[in-house]
Amino acid sequence: MVMEKTDTLVIGAGQAGIALSEHLSKLDVPHLVLERQRIAERWRSERWDSLVCNGPAWHDRFPGLDFDDVAPDAFAGKERVADYLEAYARKFHAPIRTGVEVLKVVRNDGRPGFTVTTSAGVFEANRVVAATGPFQQPLIPQLIPADSPVTQMHSAAYRNPQQLPPGAVLVVGSGSSGVQIADELQRAGRQVYLSVGPHDRPPRRYRERDFCWWLGVLGEWDAQKVKPGREHVTIAVSGARGGHTVDFRRLAEQGITLLGMTRSCENGVMQFQPDLAENIARGDENYLGLLDAADAYIAQNGLELPPEPQARQLPPDPACVRQPILSLDLAASGVSTVIWATGFAVDYCWLQVNAFDEKGKPSHQRGISSEPGVYFLGLPWLSRRGSSFIWGVWHDAKFIADHIATQRKYQAYHASTPATAAPVRETVCQAAD
């Protein structure tokens, strides 16, 4: 039994679903947003307590609303981001239904549109947009057996240092989550080991401008493709404690033991790749490369921004980089917890349509999928590097809303222009004898 019909059903009310709803509303496209929990749920319950935005408040927001109580160069806390997104949705009366989980989407047979089974009944829609997030399923490499005495958790489950059992902590992953969690734990008095992989580490600020500004003016947020060989390179930045440049040597100076990439675990002994110095050096290259590009931009445009030669002075390599530890006996080192800051996967098992490639990845061009009427929004690199971030998804949402409005025009034309009558077939009637 079909309960409700709408033109476009948007699944997920995070920043992506809200941005799309705004654009669809402006274009008068009838739509509904279904959210299984609360608006901006991930910012509320899937991030650690002290998390603040990685970008400053003037940057990490939608174009139509400021953070009125956060200074432009400060970093909004995670609850504040969730409140902001809620307020934004209220501003244009976004038609969001919370507490409704989408369980199955299938294409209708012999008629247009999709049937959408949810926890609150069945919907029908001409189009569906999957806005269920870039980071859906925490990924934990299966290296340490589940029955090991060590506590294992993903960064999405980490909340604060008090939550962990006493003892040292191994944090695996050197993107923004891994470095921020390792730093917080070390400052809380824990002994911390940090497994460092390939990473970019832009300066927080250089010559009085935040790295978000530099990546913007240098066109980096608009890059359309990951550079070859850089597919698994994370970005290590932090807005914590007012914002600072992530520098692994300084983390080591502070007391964190750096390790190379995590390779395996056998009988409670972790093995690491001998790549720590190389990963740190590549991170430095990225850091210095951005300083060079910024200097060139300043010179070319004649900007008056004060020189900052001290930004090029890097501290010497600490002992843990010079003589890297290649194996660590977890019990003997007192490690009671391993935190995997190793990223996320997506799960579209509910979307049972022809919109995926042979590897099960969404098959799309700028979010328009290979199944007509199905769209993806919010995925990393959907159209550019900025696509999964707050400011970037807004522009992708505009593009998808425009595409939907155009498709509606084709349908309106079809509905208003009946096909000419079928040609009359000549029938020779035989006279009955």
Chain contacts with ligand FAD (rule: CB under 6 A): 11-17, 34-37, 41-42, 47, 53-55, 60, 101-102, 131-135, 177, 350, 378, 388-390, 393
Q: At closest approach, how far in Å is the CB of 249 from ligand FAD?
A: 24
Q: At closest approach, how far in Å is the CB of 41 from ligand FAD?
A: 4
Residue written as tokens 């010559």? 207
Q: At closest approach, how far in Å is the CB of 165 from ligand FAD?
A: 23
C-alpha to C-alpha distance for 312 and 284, rounded to whole angstroms? 10
User: Hey, what are 118's tokens?
Assistant: 């949810």
The answer to whether the beta carbons of residues 260 and 274 sit under 8 Å apart is yes
Comparing CB distances to ligand FAD, the nearer of 257 and 342 is 342
Q: At closest approach, how far in Å is the CB of 417 from ligand FAD?
A: 37
Secondary structure (3-state) at 20: helix
C-alpha to C-alpha distance for 263 and 270, rounded to whole angstroms? 7
- HSE (side-chain half, CA atoms, 13 Å) at 60: 24
Q: At closest approach, how far in Å is the CB of 34 from ligand FAD?
A: 5
C-alpha to C-alpha distance for 45 and 79, rounded to whole angstroms? 9
Secondary structure (3-state) at 383: coil
Comparing CB distances to ligand FAD, the nearer of 12 and 324 is 12
C-alpha to C-alpha distance for 100 and 402, rounded to whole angstroms? 26
User: Hey, what are 277's tokens?
Assistant: 């110095």
Comparing CB distances to ligand FAD, the nearer of 87 and 281 is 87
Comparing CB distances to ligand FAD, the nearer of 123 and 272 is 123
Q: At closest approach, how far in Å is the CB of 247 from ligand FAD?
A: 19
- HSE (side-chain half, CA atoms, 13 Å) at 129: 35
Strand partners, 340: 154, 172
The answer to whether the beta carbons of residues 69 and 57 sit under 8 Å apart is no
**CB under 8 A, 24+ apart: contacts of 178-183:** 178/234, 178/236, 178/339, 178/341, 179/236, 179/238, 179/246, 179/248, 179/251, 180/51, 180/238, 180/240, 181/48, 181/155, 181/339, 181/341, 182/251, 182/256, 183/238, 183/240, 183/251, 183/254, 183/256
Comparing CB distances to ligand FAD, the nearer of 47 and 207 is 47
Comparing CB distances to ligand FAD, the nearer of 385 and 408 is 385
**CB under 8 A, 24+ apart: contacts of 67-73:** 73/210
Comparing CB distances to ligand FAD, the nearer of 161 and 378 is 378
Q: At closest approach, how far in Å is the CB of 108 from ligand FAD?
A: 19
Comparing CB distances to ligand FAD, the nearer of 17 and 324 is 17
Indicate the pairing of strand 121-130 with strand 4-11.
parallel
Comparing CB distances to ligand FAD, the nearer of 270 and 404 is 404
Q: At closest approach, how far in Å is the CB of 131 from ligand FAD?
A: 6
Q: At closest approach, how far in Å is the CB of 275 from ligand FAD?
A: 25
- 238 phi, psi to nearest 5 deg: -155, 135
- HSE (side-chain half, CA atoms, 13 Å) at 228: 0
Q: At closest approach, how far in Å is the CB of 85 from ligand FAD?
A: 8
Comparing CB distances to ligand FAD, the nearer of 47 and 199 is 47
